[in-house]
Chain A
């Protein structure tokens, strides 16, 4: 095995450990950049205190690699602590200070019922903060940041005391137009901290200085909501790494696909909400790039859900319009669409005779029927087992599957009610699930103006490689890339991620009246903030990368597109920016309006601190693919049954080439290759699947 360090910086070299905590498993990847050696392991997650699973994962990783804690260069972590807190609503009471007249900002929200909901049955979700915990503060700014009415400090002081008396020590401050002038919010925060020293305060102009008060309020309050728990969690993690003899820095993955210090994560913990899925997208981008593919559609299929993301030019696409647990969060996050479709998705026949798959899931407990742990409702995994896509064992033979139980469950609950054979019913279940996923995959590709025919599909997660071949056909993706360790790709993504932070501010510029001086000044401020952050993270000058973005729209539009601002803040760059906006609009929406004036809404500076980059270890040649065949399996394809060879992935070397149908087994996943497809193992051990020409 060979490996290399392509770029060395002053950040400590040494072994890298990535720990990705999921709902069921904590995945660990360990890489020694000096030797190129890569180890992976899995341990059970410990939801009551995830830091225990983290510690166990680190211990396992060190043991597997035979590495001392002292030789670790950095520890990178993907966490679900913030997400779970939001989804399970287990956070503390939060108090919010808002502008006078807006006490019901959360209750009213955007005054809508979600588009796909029914007027008669929809129930408004309970808000994370009730109105009686929202204090109104007199004081008013204009949308340009002018002070129209001074902040009423006495009212702030009184509110702070009342909040303390209520026993609430988490406070969010969200005043109108604070994106244009943070002065009132900052002063209010000072007063709250002075009157209520225990309070953890989140200020909207720090968290998301972007217009639209409801979205900014939700983002800020969620930040406050997860702050105490993330803070405690981070302390425990630091303790655990110390106990493992590791002195290296601990970095946390953010929703935007970059890592940050624990110090930054404590200040803006809501940024870690999509930590794990973002790491998966980074990992997919990395393995794709190694194999020469830069434009990728990812599908991470686990037990209960599928996370789908688009990667262009090896960079996961970011969005500022997404939601966590139904709550809108305006921060830049990797554009991941999650749907309730996975290996544990349950199939049912509805009263009217329709076949429905998911979103209900059998989860890890009781799991699919074939696990023999008490599950009775047939799942996606049972369909795979019934059709022969999965060998009758998992984890290299350590875990036997009850094939007959799967078939019986499908027969009684799906096949008989629909008057189908077991195989047709099982195939129907998978078709319906694939169809649901294709819908979501189209949203992140076609709706973003990208032709899936030009994308490479990277399926991963425990169940991804079973669906990759059929999804690629449905989507029209010409190539599918199955990464070397699909079950732990998120942990690998952690190892290869860079430090990253985004600094955005609304700076509205009316069409045709661009104020170059103001644009320059705001970009300067954002750049200063970015540099201060890079300084703080100890990123050496040579490893810094700053890029400017602007969000633009045609005059009168209400939805902005992010466009890269190249070069200086001058007329030439502005002209290029506007040109690029027209082109992007044309690409995504199918039309542009060259005569229509363009408005600039929000400016953003993205700061990246390049960490020493690693390369994937290469796999040697291991002879013809046929030498990796370890058995045969009867598979019921739509066109008829067929005996399909089973390949052992560990025995497949670089250059091994084989035709579908084929099944490839490995510890953490099973790959299905369909008749008419051809697979080739590349030098990094990824399996590249294409249609036979």
Chain B
């Protein structure tokens, strides 16, 4: 203990605890600053209002340090390093891709453009600054590039394999011209590209400042320490939560919009004292329609990592989570690992279902210590010409409900982390559309001790002569499940001219729907499953839900056993007690009826 060298060594290691904190904080600030720049300067509504973008920082080997904390791939730099070895890179270079297949699912549909700048300090490559954003149109079959009608990757816009966009600060304008020429909205694409380039350059400069302050050896040591810390914490938490055993869970995508379906995602988790193995090989084959999800091999671990670190603010998700699983097995040619050139554009239906399947696996393994499933977020596109004869494209993301949790209700009316809706006042000023209604879709949140979140109703009237509409919304065959006694969610649909003689449903995954002036499109989105027995929900909460328009009076009585007074504004305590005596028995999962596991 009085041994001086060991004391000094201990002090050095521990001093790193502070440096680690300083560098972690500074890198998070850099990410924020890059994202603020993109948000404020990007031009397509998809990026600037909906905010579909993220920035990240990586070490020289391409290991993920800070960035997106929601489910996704962490291997964004690898595809570039394979094409351009580190030795060939120079300060001021800029790299670019959107090619999901070459990048092995680093991005999983082609509108997401990835830009990367290597960060050099005194001639040495130390890190990478990266940003991606969803561009509104990069060519392809229809405006918006990713159409439910696509049956080939080639139809989903221009494919950009990893390329060098700038060499030592000189931008390859020829390459950009080709890209712009392929877009139906070149002005917005040019602006978005400038915004992304400015953001990665900013990240590069800020990382250089940090390197000047701390030096390369210390920064590298901190990168290692941060990754090691997350690796350790994620594994420990997983072990705390999941006992040894073999667990299976299956979830279902209704349809690919081209005649295939239901499509099964079959997962198996094997946990032994020394190995954690995840296996999706039994999942169904890839399909003709664009719901194939080219899952990055790092995505499952990053998603589990995000879940396991959820309540630990002192940790930032990084590449340390990648090693959670000792093995991950997928099957080429399956829905989760399609072969080129299967179309991918609507993969988020499958991706969101797949996230639900992970939760389901955890549910089986832990007896329900995780959130219930949720509806995949909804997108619809309207294209036409405005009153000045100019073409327009509105890509509107619509919120859904998320699953109830062991400690809280599911989110009502949320699209995803950090992505915003278009204000009605923006829509009406920018497009020939009128927003007639935007409200909570009552009774779509699964009943439970903790209610699932509700979806929304978004209704718009077409104010131009003709518009072509595409829609992607989850159908009603397999609504998101409830757990621990909670019931399944209500599902969504898309109706044209509701309540009129010409009322009709649009197929949930369709494009080329032609609408005329005066037609009304109503999108009704689904919710999240409930958590826990609905009869355990406090009657006061149920009453508040009824008054607020989240739960109907009928559902309150039927699903929650809460009877309201004649005027509907108070709880009938006696009747409620009576009704709750007849308590339905439950099983772990619920989808239309209760099951121990879903198959």
Contact = CB atoms under 8 A, between A and B. Distances in A.
Interface of A: 100-105, 107-124, 130-132, 140, 142-143, 176-177, 179, 211-214, 349-350, 352-356, 418-421, 424, 427-428, 431-432, 435-436, 438-439, 442-443, 446-447, 508, 554-559, 585, 588-591, 593, 596
Contacts of B310: 118-121
Contacts of A142: 428
Most interface-central of B13, B37, B429, B437 (chain A CB within 10 A): B429
A343 B596 CA distance: 54
B15 interface: yes
Given A104-B549, A428-B18, A119 B39 contact: no
Interface string B507-531: 0000000000000000000000000
Interface string B13-29: 11101101110011011
A419 B10 contact: yes
Contacts of B417: 112-115, 117-119, 122
A556 B188 contact: yes
Contact of B413 (A111, A117, A438, A559): A111
B426 A447 contact: no
A418 B426 contact: no
B414 A111 contact: yes
B191 A443 contact: no
23 contacts: A102-B424, A102-B439, A107-B548, A112-B51, A115-B418, A118-B311, A130-B547, A140-B434, A176-B424, A176-B425, A352-B315, A554-B191, A556-B45, A556-B48, A557-B41, A557-B42, A557-B48, A558-B45, A559-B48, A590-B37, A591-B194, A591-B198, A596-B190
Contacts of A355: 17-18, 21
B371 A593 contact: no
Interface of B: 10-11, 13-15, 17-18, 20-22, 25-26, 28-29, 32-33, 35-37, 39-45, 48-49, 51, 69-71, 187-188, 190-191, 194-195, 197-198, 201-202, 229, 232-233, 306-307, 309-315, 371, 397, 399, 402, 405, 408-409, 411-421, 423-426, 428-429, 434-440, 456, 459, 544, 547-549
Contacts of A354: 17, 20-21, 229, 314-315
A556 B187 contact: yes
A424 B8 CA distance: 12
B18 A143 contact: no
A112 B420 contact: yes
A118 B70 CA distance: 7
A38 to B, nearest CB: 38
Contacts of B415: 111-112
Given A108-B440, A108-B456, A123 B421 contact: no
B72 to A, nearest CB: 11
Nearest to A590: B198
Contact of A352 (B32, B232, B420, B440): B232
Contacts of A555: 43, 187
B551 to A, nearest CB: 12
A327 B543 CA distance: 26
B21 A447 contact: no
A108 B547 CA distance: 16
A353 B14 CA distance: 9
A420 B188 CA distance: 54
Given A177-B425, A555-B187, A101 B435 contact: yes
Contacts of B198: 589-591
Given A107-B440, A418-B17, A556-B188, 8 more contacts: A113-B416, A115-B35, A119-B306, A349-B17, A419-B14, A439-B32, A508-B429, A558-B426
A292 B414 CA distance: 50
Contacts of A102: 424, 437-439
B229 A556 contact: no
Contacts of B35: 115
Contact of B429 (A116, A211, A428, A589): A211
B428 A593 contact: no
A432 B414 contact: no
Contact of B438 (A104, A427, A446): A104
Top 10 closest pairs, chain A to chain B, by CB: A558-B48, A101-B437, A428-B18, A556-B43, A115-B418, A439-B29, A111-B399, A419-B14, A143-B429, A110-B420
Given A108-B399, A428-B18, A435-B21, A211 B425 contact: yes
Contact of A212 (B307, B416, B425): B425
Contacts, number: 245
B318 to A, nearest CB: 13
A130 B544 CA distance: 9
A179 B306 CA distance: 42
Nearest to A359: B313
A689 B458 CA distance: 59
Contacts of B18: 355, 418, 427-428, 431-432
B428 A420 contact: no
A442 B39 CA distance: 17
B171 to A, nearest CB: 11
Given A101-B435, A108-B399, A419-B14, A211 B423 contact: yes
Contacts of B435: 101
A419 B10 CA distance: 6
A589 B421 contact: no
A119 B70 contact: yes
A442 B29 contact: yes
A443 B420 contact: no
B408 A112 contact: no
A573 to B, nearest CB: 25
B21 A596 contact: no
A102 B236 CA distance: 46
Nearest to B18: A428
B129 to A, nearest CB: 14
A334 to B, nearest CB: 19
A557 B436 CA distance: 25
B173 to A, nearest CB: 14
B203 to A, nearest CB: 12
B431 to A, nearest CB: 11
Given A120-B371, A120-B405, A432 B25 contact: yes
A593 B191 contact: yes
Nearest to B20: A354
Contacts of B11: 419-421, 424
Given A112-B420, A424-B11, A435 B425 contact: no
Contacts of A424: 11, 14-15
Contacts of A101: 435-439, 459
A555 B162 CA distance: 30
Nearest to A588: B40
A418 B20 contact: no
A112 B17 contact: no
Given A103-B439, A120-B310, A212-B423, A436 B418 contact: no
A355 B21 CA distance: 7
A112 B40 contact: no
B440 A439 contact: no
A559 B39 CA distance: 8
Contacts of A352: 229, 232-233, 312, 314-315
B544 A113 contact: no
A318 B430 CA distance: 27
Nearest to A430: B18
A442 B33 contact: yes
Contact of A556 (B44, B421, B544): B44
B428 A177 contact: yes
B555 to A, nearest CB: 16
Nearest to B421: A111
A122 B417 CA distance: 10
Most interface-central of A119, A120, A590 (chain B CB within 10 A): A119
B41 A211 contact: no
A344 B415 CA distance: 38
A354 B23 CA distance: 12
Nearest to B229: A352
Most interface-central of B194, B315, B423 (chain A CB within 10 A): B423
Most interface-central of A213, A556, A557 (chain B CB within 10 A): A556
Nearest to A127: B548
